[in-house]
Amino acid sequence: MGVQVSWDTEAEQPPARRAALASMTAVAAGDKEGWLALFAPDAVVEDPVGPSFFDEAGKGHHGREGIGAFWDKTIANVERFEFTIRDSHAGGDEVANVGTITTFLPGGYRVDTDGVFVYRVGEDGLIRSVRAFWETERAMATARQVTE
């Protein structure tokens, strides 16, 4: 699995931004265990925020077990990820990244998901929450078959 994370950053970054970059890098590398290790035991992932086909109740995926199940249901089914962060705003223990996640799916399909991806960390640097604001309909409208 090729790893591509595009992000223009300076050397010293706030903890939440470092955690976000580590999360994206682990996802792009297909490293489930490394990704799960970035999360606090009681962390919550809302991706996307609100009800979706990934989370019908819209309450998020809780704890490493729930987040691991989210990986198995979603991330594991993607052949390749590319993350492009166009802007990043850090404040306190959080960072809001604005960008596009490009997913390459079986059958040669590609989907671009534009959104705002908010990470919150604890004093230990572990991720406490991920809240991904993106719209299913907008993302699915970009689905296309590609040859590379």
pLDDT at residue 11 in the model: 57
What separation, in Å, do the N-terminal and C-terminal C-alpha atoms of the chain show? 14
Neighbours of 14 (CB within 10 A): 16
Regions of the chain short of the pLDDT cut 70: 1-11, 148
**What pairs with residue 110 in β-bridges?**
104, 144
Residue 32: closest CA among 70, 59, 85, 3: 70
**Domain coverage including residue 93:** 3-145
pLDDT at residue 12 in the model: 75
pLDDT at residue 148 in the model: 60
pLDDT at residue 72 in the model: 97
Neighbours of 55 (CB within 10 A): 20
pLDDT at residue 147 in the model: 75
pLDDT at residue 13 in the model: 87
pLDDT at residue 6 in the model: 64
CATH number at residue 65: 3.10.450.50
Please give the tally of structural domains in the chain.
1
pLDDT at residue 136 in the model: 93
